[in-house]
Every structure is written in C-alpha cells, then in structure tokens.
Structure 1
Amino acid sequence: MDAGGDRALHSTNAAVIREIYDSEFAHQTFAMELERALDAGCCVIVIEPAQLGDETARWISVGNCLHKSAVLSGIGSVVSSIIWPENPLANTPMAVVSLLCTGLYTASWQFDNCVKYQVERDPRKLSRLPVLSAMSAAAPVVLVRKDDTKRKILHWSVTLTAVALSAFRIYRSMK
C-alpha cells in the first residue's frame, strides 16, 4: 500500500457501518449508511454486516478483475503487434478483449463511488486501525480510499494504444 493508504488507516475520517438489527429494514439501512460513507469520501470504511461486506468486496474484486484484464490484454496486444507487425490477427483479439473490458468497466464501475476503494486485507495494517479495537463483528470488511487517477490513465492509455495499433494493422493489411 502506498503512503496515502497508510495515512488513511490512521485517519479520523472513518465510517463504521455497525451490525445493529433494530428494524425489519436493517439491511436497507446498512446499504444507505455505506452509500453515505462512500459519498462523503471517508478514508476508511468498516463494514460489520457480513452480507453487505461480502457483496461490496465482491463488487470491488470484479471491478479490479476487469481493470486488470483490460490492461493485461491491451499490453499483450501491443507486444504481439511489435513481435508480429505484419499479422493483424495476432493482436486484434486481445485489443478487442481490452476494449470490451474497458467498456464494461467504464459503464458499470467508473461512476460508482466504490471504484475509489480497495479492500484492506493486510493484518498488520488492520491491527493499526483504532476503530477495529471496539468492533463487535469477528471479521469486518475494511475499505480504504485510494487515489485511482494513475490507474485510470494507465487503463485508458493501454486500451487506446492497443485498439489504435490493431486498427492501423488491419487498415494496412487491407491496403
């Protein structure tokens, strides 16, 4: 984790979604509390309700998987276009995968506040969190806010480069 992430673990700007069932609408209340914490941009969000924590962690994991798939397939496309410059079929499928993953990520995750967060799993960093000492849940999900600007730039740059190279190779081969 970067230094900004370490600062987040010690920040007082933390939100805790407590697992308190005080009505039949408790699950909706938990979700609204999480949404408010995400909108507020809290540095650390601790989610006690297991179901909400698992759903949120899975949502973030799927977004991370799409991001990594887009970047890796884009890099693979660029590398294969360098290795086999006269064969557009070598890099086009990977460029298409990169474009599809980027499109899906952009449509589903780009404007979701969860995109700014990662699940913290490092026990050493979690042990330094003051809010965890008074938790009632055995294993809450801890979200830490991260700056994703460089990640977005990398994501789009790799995808656009792969698609542009692929389009150029196809155009040149049809000429």
Structure 2
Amino acid sequence: MAAWGRRRLGPGSSGGSARERVSLSATDCYIVHEIYNGENAQDQFEYELEQALEAQYKYIVIEPTRIGDETARWITVGNCLHKTAVLAGTACLFTPLALPLDYSHYISLPAGVLSLACCTLYGISWQFDPCCKYQVEYDAYKLSRLPLHTLTSSTPVVLVRKDDLHRKRLHNTIALAALVYCVKKIYELYAV
C-alpha cells in the first residue's frame, strides 16, 4: 500500500513541486472494508476490527459507519475520563493554594473524589482494552498519507496507534496524589 507523503527537496526535484511516495508496510495500515456478505456482516466487521486492534496496526481505517462511530465514541469517553481525572485531581491539589484553608476543602475534596472515581473507572474499563491505545485521527495531512482512495465510504473513521504510557502515568499519579490529599484532609477534619 502506498500513499503520498510530504514534499521533500532532493536530487532531481524541481523546487519542491514533485511529491515523494511514502510506502506503508502491510503491518502499518489495516482497512475494515464495508462489504456485506450475508446476514452476519456486522459481526464480521466487529471481528475484523478486534483482530486489527490486537495485531497492533499503526493505522486502522474503519469503513462501516456504525462500528466506526461506536469506536470513536468509546475512545472519546475514555479521553473524557482521562481528562476529567487529570483536571479534577489538579483542582483538588491546587485549590488549597488559591482559596482560604477554611473553605478550600469544599472544592478540593469533591474534586479529589471525582479524580479518583474517573481514574478507577478508566483503569477498570479502558486500561486493558486494546482500543485505548488508539486515537481518532482528524489531521488532513496525516490522512492524505493513507490509502483512502480504495474506500467505498466517504466518512471512514481512522484510528492511529499512540503510546499511552505517559498519559496513564499522569492521571494515575495525579489521582494518587489527590487520594493522599483527601485522606489527609478528612483525617484533619474529623480528628480535630
């Protein structure tokens, strides 16, 4: 599979007007084609997507609209949980610095609990799902490098595999710090 890459000046190129072809290996891109072969076509699409996710292709193009939309929503919910865990945990940790100590726990404790809840839910529901390693690609330049000309669908969902190790470390660290703060603050409130 080959796709057009970025412009590069090189030997024999005339001022950047020529485009160099960038080839993708067979392990880089997988396309779940929308071909209906019988009654269980949706099950076949889901099976193909699952196999592609487990095979860890760099790009997965999903032609069937229903499965593509469901996958994009699932990824969006996971992203929302991650961002909520990080933002709520940050609010929990920095509220005592911005508000008077007598009132800060009214915001910081609920924010800490929210951060911990989102982090826990993400850990239970998304952490071991192979779909959490992917993000929906919207960048037109990156999409132009993929073999989308072979598709029958005009609105495919394109997933790109991204390393989420730092992302998980970030929200786990912030949620853990928020938990420690909440436990300490609750102890202070009820021990006095």
Q: Same fold (TM over 0.5)?
A: yes
- Once the two structures are TM-superposed, the CA of residue 10 in structure 1 deviates from its matched residue by 6.5
CA RMSD of aligned residues (A): 1.5
Counterpart of 1:82, as a letter, is: L
Q: Would you say 1:174 and 2:175 are equivalent positions?
A: no
Give the structure, 1 or 2, with the largest relative contact order (CA under 8 Å, sep 6 or more): 1
Task: After TM superposition, list the pairs within 5 Å mapping 1:1-175 onto structure 2.
Answer: 11-12=24-25, 13-83=28-98, 84-86=100-102, 87-129=104-146, 131-175=147-191
- Supply the distance in 2 between the matched residues of 1:95 and 1:11 (Cα, whole angstroms): 45
Unaligned runs of 5+ in 2: 1-21
Indicate the SS of the match to 2:181: helix
- The residue number in structure 2 matching 1:6 is none
Given that 1:18 and 1:47 are in contact with CA atoms closer than 8 Å, whether structure 2 keeps it comes out as yes
Q: Give the helix-richer structure, 1 or 2.
A: 1
Q: TM-score, normalised by structure 2?
A: 0.82
Q: Give the strand-richer structure, 1 or 2.
A: 2
- Once the two structures are TM-superposed, the CA of residue 85 in structure 1 deviates from its matched residue by 4.1
Percentage of matched positions with identical amino acids: 47
Unaligned runs of 5+ in 1: 1-8
- Supply the distance in 2 between the matched residues of 1:117 and 1:89 (Cα, whole angstroms): 37
**How many positions carry a matched residue from both structures?**
166
Question: Deviations along 1:43-97, whole A, 9 cap, x unmatched?
Answer: 0000000011000000000110111111100000001133344543331000000
Query: Which range moves more in the overlay, 90-99 or 164-173?
Result: 164-173
Indicate the SS of the match to 2:155: coil
Given that 1:85 and 1:169 are in contact with CA atoms closer than 8 Å, whether structure 2 keeps it comes out as no
Indicate the SS of the match to 1:15: strand
